[in-house]
A and B are shown apart, each in its own frame.
Chain A
Amino acid sequence: MNDVMIIIDDTHKKKGMEKIIDNRSFGAMPFGGKYRLIDFILSNICFSGIKNVGIFIKGDSSSLINHLHAGKEWGLLRNKDGLFILPSCLKGVDEEPFANIKNVFDNIDYLERSKEEYVLLCSSNVIFNMDLSLIKEHFIKNDCDATIIYSEEIKPITNKFIHLEIDTDNKVIDYKFIKDIEDKKYNRNMDMFFLKKSLLMDLIEEGKENNEKTLLIDYILEKQNKLKVSAFKYNGYVAFIDDYLSYYKYNKDLLNFSIYNQLFLGRNEIITTRSDEAPTKYMKDSKVKNSLITEGCIIEGDVENSIIFRGVKIKRGSKVKNSIIMHKTIIGEGSVVENGILDKDVLVRENSFIKGEEKKPKIIKKKTVF
């Protein structure tokens, strides 16, 4: 796949995530005990042989940039190609979803300099573990001009998404923004597009002057009669993180071993930055059930149905249930945390009580002393 370059959009709107995203971008959002969302797409890329990776960033991206370490862990710290950070001029909180063409236009130099023939565009908040070469195979086999990748979902958990209208020849004929979700099957756009770099540059050229039409998908579908735009259905597990409820749900879903297996033990290893933590120590009285626990922790209390990130200390007599506890947080002796999302470096003093509701978890921000 060294004739394919990839551009990851990390400028996704933060509406709905404000409570937990803090000053991070989507890609920098901690997930699954030891990862950040961007790790998933980067790991898929690492094992696909793609060596030219651009990431659109906006605003508060220091968390992401510090995490990336110039792409070292994913083999992207190299002399030829590698990882490129592409700032964007997009301001404010965009209402529309993804693949905003202005982003691409602002970074046209990067596209011009890149020598790859094909471009894969995707978004940092869509999580999966897939063989990316299948997309290129589909594109070539079906003689496409553009391929849009989607996943079938029944009653998705989200506030808004793009549903693709696909005909019997597997061509994408239209799309719809879905706001009111019904109990039926949707072709949910995974915010992934595969096309020739030359076509992308032509489309951008057209969109240069147009301030009203900003989505790539509009430009592609507008030319339906001239371009062959086909749909590629991805049948594996996909997590769409777009607000704090879906964030909570998809983390908790990892406690289902079938999903854990598909995402973490699937085709690609999921790689993240090294942290050299000690192996987790379970003390004498610890009781852990149905949880994901990662390295560097000292567990002395009770943990149930929870996701525990690196370096967390759960002291004696405390109880953590249905919760997500992020890096280095300390749960003091005798405390109870139920249905909570605790960000990094939180200190829960002894005998404290944090209780959220199952559908509405209680969120505690970074570095809070409770």
Chain B
Amino acid sequence: MKTDIVAMLLAGGQGTRLGLLTDEIAKPAVLFGAKYRIIDFTLSNCSNSGINTVGVLTQYRPLALNTYVGIGSAWDFDNKVIDSGEGLTILPPYKGKDGGNWYSGTANSIYQNIEYIDRFNPENVLILSGDHIYKMDYNKMLDYHKEKKSDITISVIEVPWDEASRFGIMNTNEENEIIEFQEKPKKPKNNKASMGIYIFNWQKLKKYLIEDNKDESSSNDFGKNIIPKMLEKEERLIAYEFEGYWKDVGTVKSYWEANMDLLQDKNIIDLFDRKWIFRSQNYRVPPKYIGENSQISNSLISDGCRIDGIVKNSVIFPSVVIEKGAIVEDTVVMPSVLIKEGARVNRAIIGEKAILKENSIVKKYDHCSDDIVVIAQKKVIEKNSTICCEQCK
């Protein structure tokens, strides 16, 4: 693909609605699916699509993310000699001669990196978010973009009508030209939602970014400012219809659901497809040790675990210990958690290195407003005690 296209991956957000999960790390660095981090999906999609030049825009608590991504070796982005792309570069906000600014919005982060993109002088720029779970070959979208001679191609997906008002809705004609854009409409005319994946003609985008930056009242956001402006000026906007699984894991509930989705047979990303491998920084752990008393059903379990208890409908990260008599159901258990004999947990997300002592119980109190209990990293739950989330005491 060469410098046909440069990918810019927005990974700077906090994801405030993920609560405890993003207290100390950026949303794309959040662990997912028994061995991955959310950003692995977008990075792997880029790598598998043959896109070799990737800028990763970080801002909120980037340490874990930067360390994890590194120079992108895990996704083969460090082969600068062989491939003609420039590999992966982490792009934090920076200071120049005239001072510096935090990224004030999605569009502003691209605006501040015009110099980076200009180095490659690409025809197109692919804007991606680091917080979606999906499998996509971006070549197909790029081919469509070229075929339609589009200035901007926006990937859309059909969402259930009752959820349409949560999204940016694209109204199109038969040629898939976008004629109207409704941001979180109360009365959506359509159920084609924007996925936040855009291919822009670079020279066009650059022009709009520079102008938008001069507008002090702008939020410098793609969805709120750039796209509506382009529509207004009658640029050529095309909708690319994506078919397949796509999940924006923006809330604790949707995050938990997306994990549970991996346990189903249908309607999921096939993690076992060796033609489209989702790569991540591997854990260096031995095979699982499954004991005499274990009963495992409908679960995803990573290596390094020692399982001697009951595990049902759950997603278990590496190095978790689940002792005899413990019962784990409908739960996401993060790395190195220790669940001792007789402990029980149901419909929860257990943070890294937490300890659930003997016979402790994690479950939602009837009066609790949250649907899924989130236990913080390193939390110790005492023997024989029962606990719900942080807010319920």
Taking a contact as CB atoms under 8 Å apart, the answer to whether A278 and B271 are in contact is yes
A271 to B284, CA, bound (A): 6
Among A285, A288, A291, chain B packs the most CB atoms within 10 A around the CB of: A288
User: How far does the alpha carbon of A295 sit from the alpha carbon of B290 in the complex, in Å?
Assistant: 13
Choose from A270, A278, A284, A288 the contact partner of B290 (Cβ within 8 Å).
A288
Cβ-based interface call for B370 (8 A):
no
The digit string for A275-312, where 1 denotes a CB below 8 A from any CB of B, is 11011111111111111111110100001000110000
B294 lies within 8 A of A288 (CB):
yes
Complex-state Cα separation, A265 to B279, whole angstroms: 25
CA distance A283 to B300 in the complex (A): 9
A320-349 contact mask (Cβ, 8 Å, vs B): 1 or 0: 000000000000000000000000000000
Instruction: Determine whether A274 belongs to the interface, using a CB cutoff of 8 Å to chain B.
Output: yes
User: A289 to chain B: which residues have CB within 8 Å?
Assistant: 290-292, 294
Instruction: Check B30 for interface membership: any CB of A closer than 8 A.
Output: no
CB distance from A99 to the nearest CB of B (A): 30
User: How far apart are the CA atoms of A53 and B277 in the complex, in Å?
Assistant: 32
**What A residues does B292 contact at CB under 8 A?**
289-290
Interface membership of B267, Cβ < 8 A:
no
Interface of A is mostly: loop
Distance in Å: Cβ of B163 to nearest Cβ of chain A: 28
Contact B284 A33 (CB under 8 A): no
In the bound complex, CA of A279 to CA of B302 (Å): 5
Whole-angstrom distance between the alpha carbons of A294 and B306 in the complex? 12
A34 at the interface (CB under 8 A from B): yes
Q: Is the CB of A280 within 8 A of B288?
A: yes
B221 within 8 A of A: no
Quick one: CB contact mask for A254-268 with B, threshold 8 Å, 1 for yes? 000100100011000
Closest to A273 in B: B282
Q: How far is the CA of A278 from the CA of B36 in the complex (A)?
A: 9
Kindly state the separation between the CA atoms of A275 and B35 in the bound complex, as whole angstroms: 13
State whether A282 touches B291 (Cβ < 8 A).
Answer: no
Q: CA separation between A58 and B284, bound complex, in Å?
A: 29
Give chain B interface residues in 277-324, CB to chain A under 8 Å.
Answer: 277-280, 282, 284-292, 294-303, 306, 311, 315-316
Residues of chain B at interface, number, CB under 8 A: 35
Beta-carbon contacts of B259-270 to A below 8 Å, as 1s and 0s?
A: 000010000000
Chain B residue contacts of A288, Cβ below 8 A: 290, 294, 296
Bound together, the chains give a CA A294 to CA B302 distance in angstroms of 8
Within 8 A of B (CB), among A85-112: none
In this complex, the member of B280, B287, B290, B291 whose beta carbon has the largest number of chain A beta carbons within 10 angstroms is B287
What residues of A have a CB within 8 angstroms of the CB of B272 in the complex?
278, 281, 296, 298
Q: Which of B176-219 contact A (CB under 8 A)?
A: none
A33–B279 CA distance with the chains assembled, in angstroms = 20
Whether B301 contacts A279 by the Cβ 8 Å rule is yes
Are A282's CB and B302's CB within 8 A? no
Q: Tell me if A18 counts as interface (CB < 8 A to partner B).
A: no
Residues of A within 8 A of B279 (CB): 276
Report the Cα distance A293→B286, complex, angstroms. Answer: 9
| Residues of chain B within 8 A of A285, CB atoms compared | 297
A269 within 8 A of B: yes
- List, in ascending order, chain A residues with CB within 8 A of B290's CB: 288-293, 303
Contact for B286 among A265, A283, A287, CB less than 8 A: A265
Nearest neighbor of B299 in chain A, beta-carbon distance: A282
A32 to B272 Cα, complex, angstroms: 22
Contact at A293–B271, with CB atoms within 8 Å? Answer: no
Q: Across the interface, do A270 and B298 meet the contact criterion of CB distance under 8 Å? A: no
Question: Is B92 part of the binding interface, using a Cβ–Cβ cutoff of 8 Å?
Answer: no
Interface size on A, residues (CB 8 A): 36
Q: A279, B34: Cβ atoms under 8 Å?
A: yes
Known contacts A281-B300, A283-B298; A269 and B284 CB within 8 A of each other: yes
CB <8 Å contact, B287 and A284: no
B296 A286 Cβ-Cβ under 8 A: yes
Residues B80-120 near A (CB distance < 8 A) = none
Contact A292 B288 (CB under 8 A): yes
Chain A residue, CB-CB nearest to B44: A276
Q: Which chain B residues lie closer than 8 Å to A264 at the CB level? A: 286
Contact call A276/B296, Cβ cutoff below 8 A = no
CB distance from A76 to the nearest CB of B (A): 15
In A146-200, the 8 Å CB interface with B consists of none
Q: Once the chains bind, are A282 and B284 in contact (CB under 8 Å)?
A: no
- B286→A260 contact, CB < 8 A: yes
Q: Which residues of A lie under 8 Å from residue B311 when comparing CB positions?
A: 282
B289: chain A residues at CB < 8 Å are 257, 260, 292
A260 to B311, CA, bound (A): 22
Bound complex: CA of A33 vs CA of B304, how far in Å?
11
Complexed CA–CA distance, A270 and B287 (Å): 11
CB within 8 Å for A280 and B297 given contacts A260-B289, A290-B290? no
A290 vs B292: C-alpha distance when bound (angstroms): 5
Contact, CB under 8 Å: A293 / B288 = yes
Enumerate chain A residues within 8 angstroms of B295, measured Cβ to Cβ: 287
User: Which residues of chain B are near A295, meaning CB under 8 Å?
Assistant: 35, 287, 302-303
**CA A286 to CA B299, docked complex, whole Å:** 10
Contact of B287 with A282 in the complex, beta carbons under 8 Å: no
CB closest residue in chain A, given B34: A279
A264's closest neighbor in chain B, by CB? B286
Tell me which residues across on chain A come within 8 A of B351, comparing CB atoms: none
Residues of B within 8 A of A276 (CB): 277-280, 282
Among B282, B300, B316, the residue within 8 A (CB) of A274 is B282
Whether the Cβ atoms of B298 and A284 lie closer than 8 Å is yes
Q: How far is the CA of A32 from the CA of B285 in the complex (A)?
A: 12
- Distance in angstroms between the alpha carbons of A260 and B284 in the assembled complex: 15
Bound Cα distance A269, B316 (Å): 21
Q: Which residue of the partner chain B has the closest CB to A307?
A: B287
A276-B280, A292-B288 known; A34+B297 contact, CB < 8 A: no
Q: Cβ of A292: which chain B residues have Cβ within 8 Å of it?
A: 286-290
- Chain A contacts with B in 113-159, Cβ cutoff 8 A: none
**Residue on A with the closest CB to B295?**
A287
Q: Are A34 and B294 in contact (CB under 8 A)?
A: no
Judged by a CB distance under 8 angstroms, whether B33 is at the interface is yes
A293 near B287 with CB under 8 A, answer yes
User: Can you list the 6 inter-chain pairs with the closest CB atoms, starting with the nearest?
Assistant: A33-B287, A278-B271, A264-B286, A279-B34, A294-B287, A292-B287
Given A282-B296, A286-B297; 16 other pairs, CB 8 A cutoff: A33-B286, A260-B286, A265-B286, A269-B284, A279-B34, A279-B300, A279-B303, A279-B315, A280-B303, A283-B297, A284-B298, A285-B297, A293-B287, A293-B290, A296-B272, A298-B272
A-B CB contact pairs (8 Å), 25 listed: A32-B287, A34-B287, A269-B284, A276-B277, A278-B271, A278-B272, A279-B34, A279-B301, A280-B288, A280-B302, A281-B263, A281-B272, A281-B299, A281-B300, A282-B298, A282-B301, A286-B296, A287-B295, A288-B296, A289-B291, A290-B290, A292-B288, A292-B290, A294-B288, A295-B287
